[in-house]
């Protein structure tokens, strides 16, 4: 299932509707049951930075559980089954059933975020680097690439409890680092604060299950290691679609 709600801005929803279908592996039509997307690499391909057992549990157990719970909740409502994931997540505030809204938010968000995350990763020897265009945009927004990494690491380490750190393109075409709790993401209009909304370009999972087996409580060590396996080709592709 592609996380179809990649958008440059919430005002220009239609502009990136088609482009967003290329973000993650797998494909789903509106009424199809969502299935777990395959990883685009072997589970041990990110070692020693992210270990194979963590990838196995993270992908095969955690991500699969989000999908199962989302499918179960959506199947109870014919209207939800008839719409794409993007529409469900974009209109969450309008769902009056609080329990259903929470289930869809947590598990639909969990599916989209993880699908996005898997494609953000690549073996270290295939990681690449930011494109000239992205590098210039990062320098303009943060002063330097090192300053950007510092800001991103700070957002990731200061996220209390579970959540994500993101590099986003905002509605006014600026790059910004934000973080969201749990399985929220910057595309959830009406859920996340307006200041944290935008199009995700890069995202890091800082739930403990993403790193605890290997790094224990040393989240910063995990963040520093993660830079070695960022799939800059995919990040560059996402950025290009926002400009």
- Any binding-site annotation on 205? yes
* Cβ within 8 Å of residue 3, ≥6 positions away: 20, 23, 24, 85, 86, 111, 112, 113, 115, 116
Residue 210 is given by DSSP the state: G
Residue 203 is given by DSSP the state: E
How far apart are alpha carbons 31 and 62 in whole angstroms? 23
How far apart are alpha carbons 111 and 35 in whole angstroms? 10
How far apart are alpha carbons 79 and 19 in whole angstroms? 25
Q: State the Cα angle at 171 between 167 and 173, rounded to 5°.
A: 70
Say if CB 178 and CB 199 are below 8 A apart.
no
How far apart are alpha carbons 49 and 224 in whole angstroms? 9
* Cβ within 8 Å of residue 96, ≥6 positions away: none
- Any binding-site annotation on 63? no
Upstream peptide bond of 48 is cis (omega within 30 degrees of 0): yes
- Any binding-site annotation on 209? yes
User: Which residues are documented as binding site for Mn(2+)?
Assistant: 58, 114, 205, 209
Which residues line the annotated binding site?
A: 58, 114, 205, 209
């Amino acid at each position: 299932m592609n996380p179809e709600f990649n958008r440059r801005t919430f005002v220009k929803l239609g502009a990136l509707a088609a482009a967003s279908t290329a973000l993650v592996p797998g494909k789903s039509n509106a009424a199809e049951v969502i299935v777990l997307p395959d990883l685009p690499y072997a589970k041990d391909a990110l070692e020693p930075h992210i270990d194979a057992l963590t990838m196995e549990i993270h992908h095969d157990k955690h991500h699969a559980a989000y999908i199962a719970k989302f499918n179960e909740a959506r199947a109870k409502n014919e209207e939800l089954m008839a719409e794409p994931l993007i529409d469900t997540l974009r209109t969450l505030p309008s769902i009056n059933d609080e329990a259903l809204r929470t289930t869809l938010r947590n598990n639909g968000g969990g599916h989209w975020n993880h699908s996005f995350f898997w494609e953000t990763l690549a073996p270290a020897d295939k990681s690449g680097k930011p494109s000239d265009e992205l590098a210039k945009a990062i320098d303009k927004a943060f002063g330097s690439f090192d300053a950007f990494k510092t800001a991103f690491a700070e957002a990731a380490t200061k996220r209390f409890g579970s959540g994500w750190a993101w590099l986003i393109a905002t509605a006014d075409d600026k790059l910004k680092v934000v973080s969201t709790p749990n399985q929220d993401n910057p595309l959830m209009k009406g859920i996340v604060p307006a200041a944290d909304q935008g199009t995700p370009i890069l995202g890091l999972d800082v739930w403990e299950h993403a790193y605890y087996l290997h790094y224990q409580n040393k989240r910063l060590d995990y963040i520093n290691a993660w830079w070695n396996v960022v799939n800059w080709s995919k990040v560059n592709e996402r950025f290009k679609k926002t400009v």
